[in-house]
Structure 1
Amino acid sequence: MSGEKASWSQVTLAASDDVNNNSPVAVDVVLVSDDAMLARLAELPASKWFAGRGDLLSTFPKSLRYRSWELVPGQRLDVTDDAFAGPRVVAAFVFANYPDPGAHRVRIQKFSGRLVVQLDSNNFSVADTK
């Protein structure tokens, strides 16, 4: 199988004090195991991901896996590396369920080191560090 293991030492999810207009926001880290699913998710906005993720997982159980959290304003969550253990992946995405229009999807480019997902009022960013 192609791809590599998701071996982040830690993933930090940090919500600003005014995240999602002062409301909780759902966040998923999605690990993709094949190129066909990669093509599908690369164009999918977060609203459609959150509405259809259960169907996608039941239809394509070997093509993806994900972890979900909901953060409230000002919350910081450190997720350990064992949360992402499993088979090799060809891609990874972060989806954030903001109500505003937009993709609210970021593709993760690096599978090692530390990831920081910064959730702001109506958008988010992902940074990787060593």
Structure 2
Amino acid sequence: MALDSLTLDVAQRANDDMPIAVDFIAVRDPALLEVLSGITAQQWFNDREQYRRDYRQQFSVWSLELVPGQFMEAREFPLSGDQAAGLLVFAGYNTPGAHRLRLDEQRRAWLRFDSREMRVLNDSGR
């Protein structure tokens, strides 16, 4: 896994001022990566436990709950030692949308959680 620095930046009143469940998934199996790359965050959170039962050795998950206004820098990314075909991020927004990103080849990522969607910012900041 290439990612070794992660910044999580949540907008004030994001997600209608409600917490956002966020899962980072390091996927080892390329076929499973393609499957997970085609689902929405809502599908992931609804079916996460079934995926764990079906593919328990094929991926690792780091789960967080972020709150509006939160700012966090993870200098040591918990999944950084995993050998993976790819890295996905799902955010549990309460609005329609995929709410999914792939962060496969990045060494540093700054994720901005706006009111209704997340995006990757460049290293220069907010």
Contact 1:7 1:81 in 2 (8 A): no
From 109, 117, 124, the counterpart of 1:115: 109
More strand by share: 1
Partners in 1 of 2:39 and 2:77 — Cα distance? 27
Partners in 1 of 2:76 and 2:122 — Cα distance? 14
Contact 2:10 2:112 in 1 (8 A): yes
Partners in 2 of 1:51 and 1:94 — Cα distance? 15
RMSD of equivalent CA atoms: 1.8
Matched, 1:69 2:64: yes
Contact 2:6 2:77 in 1 (8 A): no
For structure 1, the 5+ residue unaligned runs are 1-5
From 15, 34, 50, the counterpart of 2:10: 15
Q: Number of aligned pairs?
A: 124
Alpha-carbon shift at residue 81 of structure 1 (Å): 2.3
Question: Cα 1:85–1:109, aligned 2, differ >3 Å: closer, same or farther?
Answer: closer
Q: TM-score, normalised by structure 2?
A: 0.89
Contact 2:13 2:69 in 1 (8 A): yes
The aligned residue for residue 98 of structure 1 is 93
From 20, 28, 35, the counterpart of 1:25: 20
Contact 1:26 1:69 in 2 (8 A): yes
Counterpart amino acid of residue 57 in structure 2: K
Partners in 2 of 1:7 and 1:77 — Cα distance? 19
Partners in 2 of 1:82 and 1:43 — Cα distance? 24
